[in-house]
Chains A and B, each alone.
Chain A
Amino acid sequence: MTKPNLESINLQLDTANLVQTSDGRFTAIGALPAWLSDFGCSAQSEEPFQLESHLLFFDTYLLEVRDRLLREPDAVISSGPWSETDNTGLVRNLSALALQVDGQLVIQIKLIPRKQQYQQAIFQQARNYSLKFEQLVREREHKEILLHTIIHDLAGPLTSIHGVLELMERGRTSSQLTTIGLEQCQVQKRMIGTILDTFVSLDSSNALPGSRSEAPDVIFSAQQAYAKFQPAFENKKVTLRLSLEPHEQLIKVVAEEDLLERVFANLLENALRHSDEGSTTELKVELSADRVVVSVLDEGTGISSNVIASLFDRYTSSGDNAGNIGLGLYFCKIVLERWKGSLKCENRTDTKGSLFQFELLRFDSKSESI
């Protein structure tokens, strides 16, 4: 029985064995495996070739090997796994060993078979768990903060209502004070509503419209908001003007109808609060390529420069605290961002007052990124 030769063993193992020549190039020891020809190395050729011009990894690895063998001539230097795309466009997972035999550098290159890519699978699993863990920690922190904030935010209005009720219970209020007390309760009730709405929106994970029929029509929402606020503006002797630039009747946007209604309401309430008698507020809807731009332009006092950068943060108000707890604009910002829209504000340059502008994606142009 004849012993198998080294060449047959290498072919069977699908490994490439190369030895470095005196000019720094490499020649094959025996035949080269077929996969190496996909990197441009001829499987049959006995001509020396520049290994690093076919397998880019060797550009650096050979430097490392040379340095290491100078220090430790008997070392067997493993490359660790690497991937490289061959000339057919296939990504190959490879590993190599380098050692010195009789003063010559020998390199063995091995294809890592898919079924043996245990290391990859273990890393993948470990990192998936690790990512999941990070995500859970973040979610827990988020919920703890949310819970703490809700308790903190509700404490104020509830204490206020409690105070009014206590006075009434003790019979220490006149009918006039009772009326004021009840009005205060109504104000606090609205605040509680705003607080709860805001946190519900903040924690709502996915309520985007799935189909065109569920998506709200921004023209209709603007008209509704205009009709709803017109009397309040009139009452304060402020003109509210509605400008609808798009000619289309129906413009569906990526938003949730009830929340969109509140975005309109918050911005119009804000404009009304800061507008003086005799001024005009304009609610404008315009179209760009794939978006709808809604602007609320008032002729009020404008936004103070030290507040403008943090105006959309929680509890930032523009200075006038009449019924304003600083959550309205924050609410607008978070819901608009959830819809992949945006909100900005600036002082007007054409006249006094401010501009609040939000953009929404048109539902028809809803991209795959949503």
Chain B
Amino acid sequence: MIGAYAVGKTSLVDQFVLSIYSDAYHTTVGVKIDKKVLQVNDTELTCVIWDIAGEDEFYTVSNSYLRGMAGFFLVVDSTRNVTVKIALSLLDRIQETYPNIPFIVLLNKTDLVADRDINNADLALLKERAIDVIETSAKTGIGVEHAFQDLANSIISSRP
């Protein structure tokens, strides 16, 4: 899980792994690791999820955390357009080292309909580089399971 701070990466993982949600914001320091077994096309796949702390002026994502990843989610907050720009800059950096890793953009917090603040032109720049853009809400759970299933499928099909 990669993206700006406070876009809901940890909440998405908590919703996916534990089916829980909390409104309180607890920033992640470093990386948080979770695991969940996912059923993909009759195959059990163990997902080790690295929830990497959001990047800002106080913290820069270490490239070493990205090592060995099979795929990633680039998470954007649908109520803060600035997070799309951060996602684009993170993507540039990631793809310098890992150009062919499948990834999906998660447009999170879509339950906050009235607060939506996304520039479609900026989002389109992400869209054209990602496998898919999935609207999610860690709060309601919408799109979360589907996103993990989709990424797992993409990872499996991208393997020779």
Are the chains A and B members of one assembly? yes
A: residues with CB less than 8 A from B are 56-57, 59-61, 63-64, 79-85, 91, 93, 117, 119-120, 123-124, 126-128, 130-131, 134, 138, 334, 337-338, 340, 369
The 5 closest A-B pairs by CB, nearest first: A81-B30, A83-B32, A64-B64, A82-B30, A82-B31
Digitize B62-97: 1 where CB-to-A-CB distance is under 8 Å, 0 elsewhere.
101101100000000000101000000000000000
Which A residues are in CB contact (< 8 Å) with B80? 134
B64 with A340: CB separation less than 8 A: no
Alpha-carbon separation in the docked complex, A138 to B33 (Å)? 34
From DSSP, what is the main secondary structure of chain A's interface residues?
Answer: helix
From DSSP, what is the main secondary structure of chain B's interface residues?
Answer: loop
A65: nearest chain-B partner, CB-CB: B64
B64 with A123: CB separation less than 8 A: no
B: residues with CB less than 8 A from A are 5-6, 25-35, 48, 50, 53-54, 56, 58-59, 62, 64-65, 67-68, 80, 82, 111, 113-114, 117, 139-140
Q: Given A93-B29, A127-B58, 10 other A-B contacts at CB below 8 A?
A: A56-B35, A60-B64, A60-B65, A63-B67, A80-B31, A82-B33, A85-B34, A123-B53, A126-B58, A134-B82
A124: nearest chain-B partner, CB-CB: B27
B113 with A83: CB separation less than 8 A: no
Which A residues are in CB contact (< 8 Å) with B113? 337, 340
Which A residues are in CB contact (< 8 Å) with B29? 81, 83, 93, 117, 119-120, 123
Which B residues are in CB contact (< 8 Å) with A126? 58
B27 with A127: CB separation less than 8 A: yes
B32: nearest chain-A partner, CB-CB: A83
Which A residues are in CB contact (< 8 Å) with B117? 138
Alpha-carbon separation in the docked complex, A63 to B63 (Å)? 12
- Report which residue of A56, A63, A338 has the largest number of chain B beta carbons within 10 angstroms of its beta carbon: A56
